[in-house]
Amino acid sequence: MNRAKAGRRGKVLRLAALIVGVVCVGLVGAVYLLVHRTASPENLSSRLESMLGYPVEIREVSLRPWRTEARVGELKLGSAAAYDAMTVRLDPWAALSGEWRIREASLIGGVWVLPSAPEDWDPFLKGALAPIWIAKHAQVVTLSSCAIVGTDETEIIAKDIGGRFGPCEPLGDCHVAEIEGLTAGGTGFRLKASYALSERGDSLVVKELALSTPDLEFTGDALGTVDPAPTASLGLYCGDYSGGALMVSATVEGQEDVLSLRGKATLSNADAADLIARWSGPAPVRAGKLDIEVDLLGEDPDRWKGGIGGLITGGAAELEDAVIDASEPSAGVIPMAGSAGLVKIDCAAVRFARSEKDLLIHSLVVSVEGTEWRGSGRVGENGELTGVLLGDVPVSALSGGGSALMMVAGMLADGQGKVPLAFRVGGTMSQPVLRFDLDAVAREAADRGRPQAKTLLGVMSKEDKERLKRTVEEILGGLEVRRGN
């Protein structure tokens, strides 16, 4: 009896095992067929195109049904972006029901080509933002070994870009992106953002944005759309940039095949010595506070490559309570009493604009050692200087030039006892050259109600004029001011 029962029980177990085996084989077969159908090159291309809103080209697909995984050997999104490989792992239970649900996607070796023409910006953005759109349909998306390059693909703008895109905790409509990489110069950067996509996937709201480099920490927010045209508004704040507060606000709009950026950047109460050394290297400024406001404009793709610096079109700056080292060669651009040592600049203000190659100085005002100077000019592509400086100098500042100079100064002085002086500016930023312009002084004095200035100039000999020029340069120019003809 017991043996009979045991025999029947054994048959039942063997039958159950057989049934389970058949079911498992059936499931594996079903999964294989479903994955093969779902992740075929045609279906995969179609699915990705619906996610990205842009044509997708797939060269080859290899399947791993037991992992419900498809690996794409090469993935192209028009001419704007390409990936060496992409791995898509599907949710197996969703696959059994025919539903397209990505458990994990990995994009490897992406190359994003910075557009050379405005009409290429739209495909560039869709290619660069591909991980975000895919993450809308996946539990997690990873990115590795990616780069942003110029149009010839040999100019590296950023490299070793990697990151992760996934849902916020707790799960919801919110997503988190964490990206890091290196600039062309090897500077590391990190980006972390909390964002949400619209239902149609055409708008992106960045709720919390943190951008950091070894010496910079930005926080902010953004709002962007890609359909029907790419647009974005951005606000960033850095609480410590050379000791000052830096704010950047910008709007990016795509209209009629042109992607343009307009915005402003302001820096308040920055350490002048640290900031100038950071931007231009060694400088004569030793102390002071600097306020800057610049306009940002980007319509030419080449301008975008230089970051904020490449987008600056003009602006204004004001320097207060500054101390400069007058013995530095570059300090010679400002006429001053004394030839060496530390000199205090009470205040300085400049308004400037950038042309295609030059920096145009619309106005420069400097108050130093009891003198006031006004100027304008141009800084060339290689730092060449061209301009003029007009100053109001107390007669007493010229007392070291002898009786002849004091007599001339007295004839030119105004009611406040100040003499107009003028210099022509030449040389370079690192080695400025100031040439005393006696003719400009006579014209300025005459315009101020001293017509005798032109008469005086007419009766002076050439030797007297040269002697007067040298005397003024020696008194006001400092060690590094060079005499000119």
Reported as a single tens digit per residue, the pLDDT across 1-23 is: 555 555 555 555 555 555 544 44
User: What is the SS3 assignment for 16?
Assistant: helix
User: Token pair for residue 296?
Assistant: 């940002």
What is the predicted pLDDT for the residue at 269? 94
pTM of the model: 0.73
What is the predicted pLDDT for the residue at 69? 78
Domains of the chain, by residue range, sit at 28-228
**Within its chain, how far is the Cα of 51 from the centroid?**
30
- C-alpha to C-alpha distance for 318 and 270, rounded to whole angstroms: 11
The answer to whether residues 368 and 334 touch, using CB atoms and an 8 Å cutoff, is: yes
Reported as a single tens digit per residue, the pLDDT across 266-292 is: 999 999 888 888 877 667 888 889 999
What is the predicted pLDDT for the residue at 271? 92
What is the predicted pLDDT for the residue at 222? 87
∠ CA 123-129-130, rounded to 5°: 90
Instruction: Give the chain's residues under pLDDT 50.
Output: 20-23, 25-26, 337-338, 478-485
User: Token pair for residue 481?
Assistant: 């001011």
∠ CA 86-64-162, rounded to 5°: 25
CA distances from 203 to 127, 210, 233, 457 (A): 15, 20, 12, 71
- C-alpha to C-alpha distance for 280 and 344, rounded to whole angstroms: 21
